[in-house]
Amino acid sequence: MSFLRACFVAFLACVAVYEPCVRAWSKEGHAMTCKIAQDLLEPEARHAVQMLLPDYAKGDLSSLCVWPDQVRHWYKYRWTSPLHFIDTPDQACNFKYQRDCHDPKGVKDMCVAGAIRNFTEQLSHYHHGSSDRRYNMTEALLFLAHFMGDIHQPMHVGFTSDQGGNAVELRWFRHKSNLHHVWDREIILTAAADYYGKDINLLQQHIQGNFTHGIWSSDLATWRKCSHISSCVNKYAAESLEMACKWGYKGVESGDTLSDDYFNSRLPVVMKRIAQGGVRLAMILNRVLAGDSLEMDETLAAT
């Protein structure tokens, strides 16, 4: 099967270049982010998304939201690998560090914040029917949807020195894991198992209930506020860094066992980030696919 082959190739690629296999929100986290977003699309953006999705997605954006994780180690897409995270120095928690957006070789804009600006800009041409033929609009949509999830996962803005928590090995209840994976997946799966009979759809509906008429309903307008895409992505990254410091790394050391205390206190943070990622992805799609440029930087547009 091609999916298995893709996994195998990805595995070989990781081994070959000794690159840590940093991952994003698990497929569950990304799928929830994308489902929340798709449910909030207005007619024009909804139609555009339908047109951009390949037939085999059957109109479901969430089915392809992990595609960027699947291809990042393929030769053709290797350039996208640094776009899943932001390099952050260890002292960032003490100094409110201004993060630089670059890849490990120092190429500017090659980080998750730059990627969101890039693919938002590409998609903004769709509305005018002037799509630049250099760019594949379907891929721009899938990358944007995925990276909006990633930038909201606090450990994707975690420290470079421990690969966003990937190098912090620990136990999650009884099994081996690492701090990055705890935030990508463990908390979500434990919540689904403990409270929702392992039904991720039910979990997602509860998240949606909490912003349509629950605890976050009065925050929605603030979450959506965005006049300039560059400052918005910087804000999302700054929020993630603050959460990584306050909740992710706080009190955790390699070799620890994380269980109920950590789970109960971090679960609300994870749920909120998934909600925010989905709401904001919808906000961007509703606007750019209806012709609002979100005041894109000319400089980036030109590159």
Ligand X SMILES: *[C@@H]1O[C@H](CO)[C@@H](O)[C@H](O)[C@H]1NC(C)=O
Shortest CA distance to 89 belongs to which of 23, 21, 162, 22?
162
Least separation in angstroms between CB 209 and ligand X: 7
Which residue stretch of 26-34, 35-43, 166-174, 209-217 sits at the interface with ligand X (rule: CB under 6 A)? Answer: 209-217
Q: Which of 109, 87, 204 is closest to 156 using CA atoms?
A: 87
Binding mask 142-181 for ligand X (x = CB under 6 A): ----------------------------------------
Q: Are the beta carbons of 119 and 150 closer than 8 angstroms?
A: no
Size of the site for ligand X (CB under 6 A): 18
Binding positions for ligand X, 56-115, rule CB under 6 A = 79, 83, 109-110, 114-115
Torsion of CA 78, 61, 150, 122, to 10 degrees: 60
Give the DSSP letter string of 235-289. Answer: HHHHHHHHHIIIIISTT--TT-EE-HHHHHHHHHHHHHHHHHHHHHHHHHHHHHT
Q: How far is the CB of 160 from ligand X (least distance, A)?
A: 18
Tell whether residue 207 is a contact of ligand X (CB under 6 A): yes
As a whole number of angstroms, the distance between CA 57 and CA 1 comes to 18
Contact track, ligand X, 212-231, x by CB under 6 A: --xx----------------
Q: Is residue 241 within 8 Å of 154, Cβ to Cβ?
A: yes
With CB under 6 A as the contact rule, which of the stretches 12-20, 181-189, 208-216, 242-250 interacts with ligand X? 208-216
Query: Can you give the binding site for ligand X, defined by CB under 6 A?
Result: 54, 79, 83, 109-110, 114-115, 118, 135-136, 138-139, 206-207, 210, 214-215, 271
